Chains A and B, each alone.
Chain A
Amino acid sequence: MEKLVYAVILAGGHGTRMGNLDKPKQFIEIGGRPVIIHTIEKFAVNPKFAEIIVLVPKQWLAYTKDIIRRNISCSVSIVVIPGGDTRNETIMNSIKYIEDKGKLTDETVVVTHDSVRPFVTYRIIEENIRYAMECGACDTVVPASDTIVESCDGKYISHIPDRKIMYQGQTPQSFRAKKLRDVYASLTDEEKEVLTDACKIYVLKNEPVHLVDGEVSNIKITYPHDIRVAEAILGGTK
């Protein structure tokens, strides 16, 4: 049976938030290997994926292909293509890639994941596939541990939502690809500008998005401090 699920690894970051480290954060090494390699491997070992689509800034295409060739020996097909200007445009590039191959059907699922979340687990990926197929879209979340405070003017609190119903979004976020493309295409340019999160598009259009239990360890490596945290939780030597 033809595989319908594609992993979409989003590595659009230019690394500007990594202080004086010169590489984008997805290429920084933890445990002796680039973060993006750890992330891709989590998807590469899952036999449900037809292909892994890695999207990087144009100037990092050759570099990314090189490190994948050097580090990953799995038989699964991995392709590296340029990302877009925004997160959603990058996801659209992946869907266009699938469409150009003639593989885009109503059943096609994309599991989109930050390249800088290498601690994603097998269970999270499996549940993303399942709920994207069953429900059409899903988002990986953990219950909010801190109280969320809303401030409209950045000076005074305008609202404090009940923490019990608050969650923090992680990735993967997974979708039926064709539907995501169509919903995105229905947005105006202004809406596209504001709606940076793919799940938010669904919510705005009253489309259901199922929750998947994330893990607090599924951290996003964003700041230099995160590298140290990642190295520490990777410290299982015994």
Chain B
Amino acid sequence: MLNTVYQLKRPRQFEAVFKNVELDDKHVLIRPTYLSICNADQRYYQGTRNKEILKEKLPMALVHEGIGRVICDPTETFKAGTDVIIIPNIPVETDEIIAENYLYSSRFCSSNEDGFLQEFIQTRPDRLLRLPEGINPSVAAFTELVSVSYHAVERFNKLAHARRDIIGVWGDGNLSFVTALLLKKRFSDSQIYVFGKHRQKIAEFTFADKTFEITEIPEKTEVDHAFECVGGNGAPRAISQIIDHIRPEGTISILGVTEDPAPINTRMILEKGLVIQGSSRSGRKDYEDLLSMYKRYPEIIDYLENIVGEQVKVRTIDDIVRAFEKDIYKPSGKTIIIWDK
């Protein structure tokens, strides 16, 4: 069957191409419904990744956060009409030690596979999860982002020492909001401190125990462990600040993506005996456990509804551009694409 794929041809320019999809008995055909734009998509759209990477990856359909509706499932796992969350990570092997999202062989939508800006998405049934009943579809659209935080929090839990009186989260964007929220629910005895650049943004972190502007952190403020959710050009400064304020033998979880290498104060890392752990993406188990967490703490969904930003109905390629442009100029929140293309 001919499938329309809306690829980014070069920065800021989308183009419809048609690809033949073989309808077989191993894959499910999904119609995307609600999608969400990630900063990684923006780096392609705006062309801020380096030229060699852009040349290698484009043309490619963007977007890897989203939900859809099952159109046709020859595997008989889902009934037609079932709403599902689509996992963008596609492992092609299993490993007893290394998680699916860290295997070199895994594919990832909108990185080395076409993303979700397509008429249909064809995927394996194990890359789909039934959408919980009654969940706001605009929140469900960015389950991938939340699962990435969930994955990082669980890895932190396995690695970090047991004294977790204060956990600091650096950053005031969506990733930081979600990570701080999950930490607050996951470790109810811990105090969650949030360190951000913009006063009005950190004011939204109402569930946090304390919030700080990064230019006005009292000298004696300390955290046992820290999460870096800044990324980009601000990441080196955030990591440096974390090293200053973290207590000995603390764990620093790095989640923010930087384009350039970040210089870090190795002397103090050694002196304090710090542990640095990187986390990216997530796997099926993270999604499953996260959905159980939503069930246990339904108020998480209420908080997540607060970061739903612009919701753009997309019927034309111009609408796709409009959604990405609105996303650039938004003060905060997740831009949702209601897919009707």
Contacts and interface: CB of A to CB of B under 8 A. Distances in A.
A41 interface: yes
Interface stretch (A20-28, A85-93, A114-122): A114-122
A58 interface: no
Interface string A208-227: 00000100010000000000
Interface in B198-240: none
A118 B31 CA distance: 18
Interface in A14-58: 31-33, 38, 41-42, 44-47
B340 interface: yes
A42 B2 CA distance: 7
Contact of A213 (B31, B120, B315): B315
A217 B18 CA distance: 10
Nearest to B79: A47
Contacts, number: 71
A236 interface: yes
Contact of B4 (A41, A72, A75, A121): A121
A42 B20 contact: no
Given A42-B1, A47-B72, A213-B315, A236 B120 contact: no
A123 B7 contact: no
Contact of A234 (B20, B29, B340): B20
B23 A73 contact: yes
B5 interface: yes
B25 interface: yes
B1 A236 contact: no
19 contacts: A31-B2, A38-B1, A38-B2, A38-B20, A41-B1, A42-B2, A73-B74, A118-B2, A122-B119, A122-B120, A123-B315, A213-B315, A217-B4, A234-B2, A234-B20, A235-B17, A236-B7, A236-B19, A236-B59
B92 to A, nearest CB: 19
Contacts of B2: 31, 38, 41-42, 118-119, 234
Given A38-B1, A45-B72, A118-B2, A33 B18 contact: no
Pick the most buried of B2, B16, B29, B71: most chain A CB atoms within 10 A of its CB.
B2
Contacts of A122: 31, 71, 119-120
Given A41-B23, A45-B71, A74-B72, 12 more contacts: A31-B2, A38-B1, A41-B1, A45-B72, A47-B71, A47-B72, A118-B2, A121-B119, A123-B340, A123-B341, A213-B315, A217-B4
A182 B4 CA distance: 37
B278 interface: no
Given A31-B20, A32-B20, A47-B80, A236 B5 contact: yes
Interface of A: 31-33, 38, 41-42, 44-47, 72-75, 118-119, 121-123, 213, 217, 233-236, 238
A236 B80 contact: no
B113 to A, nearest CB: 10
B56 to A, nearest CB: 10
B81 interface: yes
A42 B18 CA distance: 13
B339 to A, nearest CB: 9
A212 B18 CA distance: 21
Contacts of B20: 31-33, 38, 234
A104 to B, nearest CB: 25
A4 B23 CA distance: 25
Nearest to A73: B23
A75 B120 CA distance: 18
Contacts of B4: 119, 121, 217
Nearest to A31: B20
Contacts of A75: 74
Nearest to B73: A47
A234 B72 contact: no
Q: List the 5 closest A-B pairs by CB distance, nearest first.
A: A236-B17, A41-B1, A47-B80, A236-B19, A45-B72
A133 to B, nearest CB: 17
Contact of B16 (A32, A38, A217): A217
B148 interface: no
Contact of B18 (A32, A119, A123): A119
A125 B228 CA distance: 47
Nearest to B72: A45
Contact of A238 (B18, B29, B59): B59
Interface string B317-341: 0000000000000000000000011
B110 to A, nearest CB: 14
A73 B2 CA distance: 15
Contacts of B29: 45
Pick the most buried of A33, A118, A119, A236: most chain B CB atoms within 10 A of its CB.
A236
Contacts of B119: 121-123
B60 interface: yes
B60 A236 contact: no
Contact of A45 (B23, B24, B25, B315): B23
A51 to B, nearest CB: 15
A74 B23 contact: yes
